[in-house]
Amino acid sequence: MADLPLYLWALVLIGVIGIPATIAVGLFASTLRAGGNRRVAGRMAAGFGAVWAAWIILSAVLADGGAYRQSISQNRPWIGVAAGGALLAALFATAIPAIGTALRSPGALAWLTLPHTFRLVGAAFIIAMALGKLPAAFALPAGLGDIAVGITALFIARRLAGGDRTGAAWFNILGLLDLIVAVSIGFLAGLGPTRLLDVSPSTADIALLPLALIPTTAVPLAAAMHVTSLVRLRTAPVRAPHSPAVPA
């Protein structure tokens, strides 16, 4: 467990919990808009929320037990395995008929974008850097990139809710690129024989609580939303503008 102040724990948990919570609300609203009843919508939203909450808890237990901890002498890929597995699970979930129907509903693209506002908590990386826990080579691009995505997400979501797709594709492409860059630098500046960025400190604290929850639970959901949104933007018909479905 990294020696970090309680306010940084709170900031990380806001993002880690806020993203799936907003997705659950979006699934509920999108299911209703697709013609489903409130009971079905409630069950699907609650089911998703329960499954992801269980994963957050399990990942926290694994991190606390040292499962993700890096080693100087050997490569330990388990944090990557956890993140990759969570990403695949999130993408496969979109193939579930009920979820697929919700994602094809009017307004679904806006609800897929809104959770990215919680990426503002990427500020946690910059704070951890200021505390001497993370290198600037990682914290600045990862943190500033997430903050930029978080600020932009609300505006893009409001546009999408009104039927305007302007900038949506670029938002998702650049948001996905931000995640790829952050993950790549985090890996290259970590401990182990394959370390290519010799910076001090390393990114070893990313594998410890509370920061470990970001790459294992928040990043997979964010990446899955970007991929799903890009697919929907490519295949969904353009809707005529109407009153925004996303709260002001």
User: Per-residue pLDDT for 25 more than 80?
Assistant: yes
Q: For the CA atoms of the chain, what is the radius of gyration? A: 18
Domain total in the chain: 1
CA distance 181 to 183: 6
Confidence of residue 246 (pLDDT cuts 50, 70, 90): low
What is the rounded CA–CA span in Å between residue 39 and residue 26? 15
Which residues are within 8 A (CB) of 114 and not within 5 positions of it... i.e. 6 or more apart?
A: 22, 26, 153, 154, 157, 246
Distances, alpha carbon 115 to alpha carbons 118, 147, 153, in Å: 6, 13, 8
10 Å CB burial of residue 1 (0-12, 13-18, 19+) is exposed
- What is the pLDDT averaged over residues 191-214? 90
Whether pLDDT at 244 is above 60: no
Residue 30's contacts (CB-CB under 8 Å, 6 or more residues apart) are: 102, 103, 105, 107, 108, 111
Rounded to an integer, the average pLDDT of 22-27 is: 96
Confidence of residue 97 (pLDDT cuts 50, 70, 90): very high
Domain membership of residue 96 as a residue range: 6-235
- Model confidence pLDDT, tens digit, residues 145-166: 999 999 999 999 999 999 999 9
- Asked if residue 34 belongs to a domain, the reply is yes
State the average pLDDT over residues 18-43: 93
pLDDT for 177 beyond 50: yes
The values of phi and psi at residue 8, to 5°, are: -75, -35
Q: How confident is the model at residue 239 (pLDDT cuts 50, 70, 90)?
A: low
- For residue 241, tell me if it sits in a domain: no
pLDDT digits (tens, 9 = 90+) for 98-151: 999 999 998 999 999 999 999 999 999 999 999 999 999 999 999 999 999 999
Q: Which helix (H) or strand (E) holds 38?
A: helix 38-64
Does residue 41 lie in a domain region?
Answer: yes
Q: Would 243 be classed as within a structural domain?
A: no
In a domain, 14, yes or no: yes
Long-range contacts of 197-202 (CB under 8 A, 24+ apart): 197/135, 197/137, 199/135, 199/136, 199/137, 199/138, 200/135, 201/132, 201/133, 201/134, 201/135, 202/70, 202/135
Section 93-98 average pLDDT: 93
Q: How far apart are CA 20 and CA 52, in angstroms?
A: 7
The confidence band for 74, taking pLDDT boundaries of 50, 70 and 90, is confident
Write down the pTM of the prediction.
0.92
* Confidence band for 243, pLDDT divided at 50, 70 and 90: very low
